[in-house]
Amino acid sequence: MDAAGNLRGTYPAARQNAPRLLIGSHLDTVPNAGAYDGILGVILAVALLEELRGRRLPFSIEVVGFSEEEGVRFGTPFIGSRVLVGRLDEELLDLQDAQGVSVRRAIEKFGLNPAELPQAELENDTLCYLEFHIEQGPVLARLNQPLAAVEAIAGQSRMEFTFVGRANHAGTTPMDLRCDAIAGAAEWIGAVERAAQSVPGLVATIGKVEAKPGAANVIVAEARLTLDVRHGSDDMRTRAVDNLIRQAKEIAARRGLSVHESTLLSQRAVTMDPFLTAEIERAIVESGCKPHRMVSGAGHDAMILAEKVPAAMIFLRTPGGISHDPAESVAVEDVEKALECGMHLLDQLASSPEFQKRMNRA
């Protein structure tokens, strides 16, 4: 376990001091979640090593189970993987949860030392990062295909908006004399949905709403909302966010409210490594499946690791497209195909002249 709580284990190579290949995913999940998001990728990595049955490859394999990817507790995702690329700075360590506990203090309370975080960063001998993950959507289920190579991960913006009005008595204040923060927020929520529906490939979500003072007979003085916007094009995503900020301000001004926004995350779209993606596609075919490439609408640790090393992903079909819910599932035969694909991929990389060049440079 490293100083961020990531679980890490290394399977040795055929020779000493060989460069390493990372395979992993995240161990955390969201409230009321399913059993496969993240953790399946860690289990598959371990299963691949078991399937090698002691056979050594030209590279070592490090399995990583990231401690925090979803961002539920502190409002900012990818804490575990940020550590590996050296991006857990003082500002992130000072972030606090709803109880006022900082990331730094949470690490200490878990019995780890934040001063040792730099020791968790990737070594220069790291060749690449691979991640198996459920699709979390309906595309592969609709195509009736078990696996896909991920060619890119959509960029995402996470923001918080606060509409501020004036509390007053719900029974004695006429409708035309109210400064109702939740009514303004509700109008804007509808505008967010309409904006997302008008742009192909754009998704926008209001995932959390808080109203204060929160009494049934009091007009809301403050409404706080989260906004999540994603698109494969950073330009389209940025323009959409700017448009939604403008609409929030127009709605607030018309209703006698004020509105403030803050950015929690602005993550650019990330293209997966072309060579690794092609090898994954080839391994999918070798496993007896049709090749398919797709863009991931969800963020993954691979997009963080890609800042420092070549990264690639393999999606498994999600029956019904259901994720972040107890009904989330996988088919046993799809997991079997993923293992078969993974074994083909490891053997392909072990014999690849291009990968050998990368090993020599590491």
The residue among 284, 312, 310, 309 whose CA lies nearest residue 152 is: 312
Return the ∠ at Cα 268 (arms to 266 and 270), rounded to 5°: 145
Q: Report phi then psi at 102, rounded to 5.
A: -80, 165
Domain segments of the chain as ranges: 7-154+269-361, 155-267
Q: Which pLDDT value is given to residue 232?
A: 84
HSE value, Cβ hemisphere, 13 Å, CA-based, for 152: 14
Q: Which pLDDT value is given to residue 267?
A: 82
Q: Report phi then psi at 223, rounded to 5.
A: -120, 125
Predicted confidence (pLDDT) per residue in 193-224, tens digit: 999 999 998 999 999 999 999 999 999 999 99
With beta carbons less than 8 A apart as the criterion, state whether 300 and 133 touch.
Answer: yes
Lowest-pLDDT choice from 6-15, 70-79, 137-146, 202-211: 70-79
- The yes-or-no verdict on residue 29 having pLDDT over 90 is yes
- Dihedral through CA 135, CA 141, CA 142, CA 144, nearest 10? 120
- The yes-or-no verdict on residue 277 having pLDDT over 90 is yes
- Rounded to two decimals, the pTM is 0.81
- Which amino acid, 35? A
- The yes-or-no verdict on residue 33 having pLDDT over 90 is yes
Buried-state track 315-327, b at ≥16 Cβ within 10 A, e below 16: bbbbeeebbbeee
Topology, domain 155-267: Alpha-Beta Plaits (3.30.70)
- The yes-or-no verdict on residue 70 having pLDDT over 90 is yes
Predicted confidence (pLDDT) per residue in 145-181, tens digit: 999 999 999 999 999 999 999 999 999 999 999 999 9
Q: Which CATH code, of 3.40.50.970, 3.30.70.270, 3.40.630.10, 3.40.50.300, is assigned to 7-154+269-361?
A: 3.40.630.10
Q: Which pLDDT value is given to residue 187?
A: 98
| Region class of 164: left (phi > 0), else alpha (psi between -120 and 50), else beta | beta
Cβ burial of 118 (10 Å; 0-12, 13-18, 19+) is: exposed
Q: Which pLDDT value is given to residue 107?
A: 97
Q: Which pLDDT value is given to residue 201?
A: 86
Query: 56 vs 361, which has greater pLDDT?
Result: 56
Predicted confidence (pLDDT) per residue in 225-249, tens digit: 999 999 988 999 999 999 999 999 9
Q: Which pLDDT value is given to residue 145?
A: 98
